[in-house]
Chains A and B, each alone.
Chain A
């Protein structure tokens, strides 16, 4: 699904190297987790993959189903099936959540040469998906993320993911700032979307989320590199001993 090779990224404006050779291969239907200390480059990786300005790829590649994503506009990456649940979802006053989502769904369909979703169909689908995430009708009408609590914003990200039905979902600290119930909702939302044709990259600090979303593979990122890869037990190790041991081990 996603294949990242030797990815080097620096800031565009500064001479600061952030990713220093990331290698990552995620197969179809797999769930991978990335853990790592603050500042290790996890968000940067997610932004570079989704096409945010301000970063410069100096070396390496990233392919989504064989297509070079680094060469695409952010909207093209989305239409190609890439989705990023933001660590800090953005507030957009004056644009209704529903309007925003419909614009996005139909823009992607159009880009893929598919027929647009009718408003009745859209309403039906969004109501059902929103209900699963305990997002009420009022929240759908409100401007995008404006006045939403931290948990509501994160659930809204998962709703967008559910509506856009991406193939490669990247979740950047979707669990941070959530209480146990909200995290369960988010995890259930993610689990409901798991399928053979859909892969996940879950960035998190905590093992907690991984109790709910069971990853196939866990990576540890430090200083712009994946320094260790293992099974779910690696997350437990981090939870119990912190990063220090691993860092010492990998030098």
Chain B
């Protein structure tokens, strides 16, 4: 089927502003393949069903819109935490600010340099989970990324890392348009926690492909930065082996455009996939969680827990799907998406979906939109907590269920404390 001319124009205009890396090494075939796929699908258009609630223009335009640099005036998150830091400034690796890429049981390399070696574990993986994740729904921004990503991190865990690998994304140039592509492979029995923090650029397109082998565990905790004007399209593609664990949590505060896509395939029995998100935004804040979890093995568990707090006309979107294939008996699938609207101007658009072909499964989903519970608010105030503080407590109360999805209780407590401070600051 020929692509509508409009889509072709849109796509060609975007890629005209980009160039494939001069020396792409082994990633070259995957990039060229991606480019061909992108030309066949075209970039998302606002009339695409999958982009019904989120306008893609600012993510597909040839140039990124300017985003003011935001000074957080606070210690960076995870500062007290033992971690291996890898810093990207506007999508460009900053060797000086980064630690040596050495961690026992973990191989870490940059995509840009690793692609030059002949033999590499990531060679067959780069772009492969992204490709698999294109059906049944196309995710052209991820394809664009596979073709044009300037850099990224390749992480292979063969043992249990003694501290998290921490990707820190800084934004310094108001018009920076960055594209990073990470590939993670957790080998059998290995375990890794990956932290991501920061806005990354004025416009940030990321892909993370994660292969979790049998009995392996991957934990992911991400904070998307507090910048108001940034735009981001992020994609996580994961494939899970037998008895493996994948847990991802994202905290988003501010940002005019965020689309977080997560595509997970449970291919080994008894695997667990948990995806959670907490988002807080105001005004022109637009935040979209799009999740697609496919159960293709026995006795797997998946959870989606998404909470959004919206104010002053902010928009929250949730498109979440659980697909249970015919052979995925004993699936335990759970999905909840909730919005707390702090006024009548804000809106939450949710499209929860279940598609089940197995007969012996337990799947549930729910989506709610509500205001702060007046009785609880009165209870707090009757104890002397001023209205604004009481509202903040109710916001934290609402978000707690998502934050509880973080296994590391210390990190969860840190994030809650930080969130409380941010809430307090935004009303001062």
A-side interface residues toward B, CB under 8 Å?
50-53, 73-75, 77-79, 83-84, 86, 89-95, 100-101, 103-105, 107-108, 111, 143, 160, 164
Pairs A–B under 8 Å by Cβ, sample size 11: A51-B382, A53-B378, A75-B381, A84-B382, A90-B373, A90-B375, A92-B397, A100-B393, A104-B384, A107-B384, A107-B389
Q: Which of B358-396 contact A (CB under 8 A)?
A: 373-376, 378-387, 389-390, 393-394, 396
Q: Are A103 and B400 in contact (CB under 8 A)?
A: no
> A111 to B398, Cβ gap below 8 A?
no
Residues of A within 8 A of B376 (CB): 90-92
Q: Are A75 and B387 also in contact (CB < 8 A) when A50-B382, A52-B378, A95-B393 are?
A: yes
Query: Which residue of chain A is the closest to B416 with respect to CB atoms?
Result: A94
Assembled-state Cα–Cα distance A216/B375 (Å): 32
Residues of chain B with a CB closer than 8 A to A92's CB: 376, 379-380, 393-394, 397
In angstroms, Cα B404 to Cα A143, docked, is 12
The 8 Å CB contact of A75, one of B374, B385, B400, is B385
Q: Is the CB of A73 within 8 A of B387?
A: yes
Residues of A within 8 A of B188 (CB): none
* Interface pair B379/A103, CB less than 8 Å apart: no
Chain B nearest CB from A129 CB (Å) reads 15
Judge whether B401 is part of the interface by a CB distance below 8 angstroms: yes
Count of residues in B whose CB is under 8 Å from the partner chain: 26
* B378 partner residues in chain A, CB cutoff 8 A: 51-53, 74
Check A86 against B379 for contact (C-beta < 8 Å).
Answer: yes
**Chain A to chain B: the 6 pairs with minimum beta-carbon distance, closest first:** A94-B400, A78-B384, A108-B384, A104-B383, A74-B381, A90-B379
Q: B399 at interface (Cβ–Cβ under 8 A)? A: yes
A74 to B390, CA, bound (A): 11
Which residues of the other chain, B, contact A83 by a CB distance below 8 angstroms? 382
Chain A residue at smallest Cβ distance from B394: A92
Of A53, A100, A111, A143, which contacts B380 at CB under 8 A?
A100
A164 to B385, CA, bound (A): 12
Q: Which residue of A lies closest to B373 (CB)?
A: A90
Q: Cβ of B397: which chain A residues have Cβ within 8 Å of it?
A: 92-95, 143
Nearest residue (CB) in B for A108 is B384
Instruction: Quote the shortest CB–CB distance from A173 to chain B (angstroms).
Output: 16
Contacts of A77 in B (CB 8 A): 382
Please report the C-alpha to C-alpha distance between residue A104 and residue B386 in the assembled complex, in whole angstroms.
Answer: 9
Residue of B374, B378, B399 with highest tally of chain A CB at under 10 A: B378
Interface centre among B383, B387, B390 (most CB of A within 10 A): B383
Contact with A along B398-415 (1 / 0, CB 8 A): 111101100000000000
With A and B bound together, what is the CA distance between A79 and B376 in angstroms?
18
Q: Are A107 and B401 in contact (CB under 8 A)?
A: no
- Interfacial chain A residues near B389, Cβ < 8 Å: 103, 107
Most buried by A among B384, B394, B403: B384
Contacts of A52 in B (CB 8 A): 378, 382
CB distance from A133 to the nearest CB of B (A): 17
Instruction: Find chain A residues with CB under 8 A from B394 CB.
Output: 92
Q: Are A94 and B399 CB-contacts (below 8 A) given A103-B389, A107-B389?
A: yes
Q: Is the CB of A94 within 8 A of B375?
A: no
A159 to chain B, nearest CB (A): 12
Assembled-state Cα–Cα distance A239/B379 (Å) = 31
Known interface pairs A52-B378, A95-B396; A164-B401 also in contact (CB < 8 Å): no
Given the contacts A93-B401, A94-B400, A95-B393, A53 and B374 also touching, CB distance less than 8 Å = yes
Q: Given the complex of chains A and B, what is the CA–CA distance between A51 and B379 in angstroms?
A: 10
Known pairs A94-B397, A100-B383 / 9 extra A-B pairs, C-beta < 8 Å: A51-B382, A75-B384, A78-B381, A78-B382, A90-B373, A90-B376, A104-B385, A107-B384, A108-B383
